[in-house]
Amino acid sequence: MNWLFALLLGFIPGLVWLLFFLREDEHAEPPKMIFAAFISGGVAAFISLLLETVSAGTLEKLVIVLPRIFEDNISVFVGFAVIEEVIKFILIFILIRKSVHFDEPVDAMIYMMTGALGFATVENVVITYQNGLVDATSLILVRFVGATLLHALASGIIGHYWARGIVFRMEVKFILAGVLMASVFHTIFNMLVTKFSDYLVYPLAFLLLIGFFVLYDFEELKKLAQGQNSMATESSEQKDIHILV
């Protein structure tokens, strides 16, 4: 398949979801920052692939089984999920943590999900190219509601915990909790896809359920930001009264 066609087709799922989730940000981020986060996510995909290639043999020797649920060794599922979620977070953290544009709680989710969609886009382009023209359209459709959304939602979870950690001044603990939750979610999805490869309704239903909670997280952070603004306004008014007295 022509690389240009693979590139164009592979970009569609990520861009569609990006436009959808950017609507959750009432104060739009600068396009250059969104672009930078998207590219950072793409770079994270290449770094993760390298680390997964290097660690695959070691992970296969580490046996993790869930009797009666998933009898096969799931160490690779767990290891790859952790690698991808950690690398995505690190690159976005480096990009925005000290940025003047990272100025409200919901931004953590926006930038994390943007980076995740950059990550998924690189995967989509490579997989589309490898599978050829015949299966490209159906493959991209499946990945649109599957793996692409998976990456966005998993990183959205990390972004939510990160934001709450900043607000409550327990950033490290909340970030670790977010990465753990996202990795568990990522692992479960991959296990469902493998276990029910002929019944994709199960992993897709799982994604929709998580998607509902991620959208709720957006609303929670917006309310949290509004509460902080109200407290800041009240504090300012009280200071003005004291000055007048």
Helix 171-195 / helix 147-167 crossing angle, nearest 10 deg: 160
Q: For 193-208, how does the pLDDT look when each residue is reduced to its tens digit (9 = 90+)?
A: 988 877 788 899 999 9
Nearest C-alpha neighbor of 147 from the set 83, 62, 206, 73: 206
Q: How far apart are CA 182 and CA 233, in angstroms?
A: 35
- In this prediction, residue 236 carries a pLDDT of 43
- In this prediction, residue 195 carries a pLDDT of 83
CA gyration radius for the chain?
20
Asked whether the predicted pLDDT for residue 243 surpasses 60, the reply is no
Confidence bin at 41 (pLDDT 50/70/90): very high
Token pair for residue 134? 């015949």
Q: What is the percentage of the chain residues whose pLDDT exceeds 90?
A: 61
Q: Which residue has the tokens 């019944």?
A: 199
Spatial CB neighbours of 16, under 8 Å, sequence gap ≥ 6: 144
Q: How far apart are CA 85 and CA 81, in angstroms?
A: 6
User: pTM (2 decimals)?
Assistant: 0.88
Asked whether the predicted pLDDT for residue 48 surpasses 60, the reply is yes
Asked whether the predicted pLDDT for residue 234 surpasses 60, the reply is no
- Of the two residues 201 and 159, the one the predictor is more confident about is 159
